[in-house]
Structure 1
């Protein structure tokens, strides 16, 4: 796939052409160079036009600009050198390119600007080196940003897996603990020795299952970052979920000035399971995003049954006020998508035709 020509590329090309034309006018008044003003302007404009392809063919564009500089010192050469610094991955290749440009600076100066004096040669050499170094520094910064973004995404996924593991422990341990307690009650109240023996075995197996699950939880969360204060963490999984939790989230959004309407027609489990807690997470993420990016917009939360599961939708109208500027860098949706997919569901997010935004998750609800 080819690299698209951006507005920045056009702006750089136009600016280089204008600067080149101005340079030709200044040179004409000083009697520099061997060519007349017409060929010099043509060389400047041709070099500037080549900048439109600088990101696709950085080395070729640089070479063409250097050749045209033997007619008139092409201002576009500086932009081409900057692009070589940003786009060429190999430092050896890009370094060799800039050394080649520096090497031909002297014969080009002898041919086109010798009468301007040695100071012009040194100034041109310094500008060439500065353009390349600036481009290389920009590439290093961009690569550092990409590495940081990738690392942050991995961290977000690991944190979401850890939260899911903690909530799995909370939900399953709750149910298994009930089973163990009931088995112990049965063992102490029955007169049947076989029933007592089976009840004891159930209790022992339940305790062993809880111990093994804690070991798995420890392994899953060993390298995961600790949840920041106020972000939920594992404690969130121990709270209530279902209509009451969704109503509380909606009330929090209303307190922040967001008009929220809630429609719940799907039944939740008792006690709440992972699907119910994930529904709560979807609602939380959707309302948070609405408050951040569409403050004051009418927002609807709908939790409805679908075949074999439940669907939760958070839909906001076009914003009525400027966005707050607060953002999570997209990591909230990344973690939420990971969570939904781990449960076998699907997550959809994106703008709506009226200009609002919709977050929708469809989750299967499996029964024993």
Structure 2
């Protein structure tokens, strides 16, 4: 607000300063012009009033451009028709016209030029018996054309500047929207990664703690084994969380600092590259399936695997997604189907890898935590993001099934292969 008010005060001072300068020019110049013209009426009080009217109106040219133009036009026409002669009185009219024409409507401002020519140059002065020379008829017509051209040029320039400003603002809004979308996607990725890291471990801890409480008095050795599993699982989960948080902080808050004075020229060598984010623990993959199942089997869940086809190296993003789907599916079995058995089936084809996780009916008591999870939603989003599909639901024979199909190649690899076929064809 302070800067805006200061700018407005500066504009008012400029307008009234211009009005004073124009008033001095018109009064002094018109007095001299009137004294050197023959057959004209001498200046009187009314003439001086007309000479001052236009400049005074210019003080309001920013807020009332078209009314100011009308006042300046009437003052000039009256001055000429009362036979005070020609002179600098047209200066306020020219300034008022340019001020109104570059910001107002062409239909209301441009006709003023024609009205001024017809009433002050030709033919109205000739009809009133005033001497009108050829230089006035044609010379002033040319100058009026130049005046219109100047106004139109200023209008076009302002339109170009306005269009550039609007494009720059639109580009800035688009950039901000893209940054917001990127931040939202990053938050979603972080949330999904935290869920993948914690859900499996916390589910195992929950199950093992229930087992330890139930067997603490009757079978202390099994309870101790469950507590040992809790200790190992919680330690691994804490390590994974600390590694993930360290990577997030290092990747988003580290800003390189360079010394201002190093004793050499500033451009003698390029600045050092910014530090890379801290390394993270490797994400689980299908190649580590046995290691992935160790902690799950430690809970007492009987898990079998079945592989159909020839296992092959998958793109890392697809391999990690497949392992996460297996991990989350087993987490759901541990959490919601105690006492059940699970079967993991991996089917490799040239175009896809199919993952099926089946579990039987639960034989133990299901503990309701009252907290709903987003595991299936997260798995489905992960599969869809890679161009695959995932379904989950009860089996007709009892139990539950999670079935996912992921492409064997990433989208970029598939595009490159298709392009290679087209070129080769």
The structure, 1 or 2, with the larger RCO (C-alpha pairs under 8 Å, 6+ apart) is 1
TM-score band w.r.t. shorter chain: 0.3 to 0.5
TM-score (normalised: structure 2): 0.42
TM-score (normalised: structure 1): 0.47
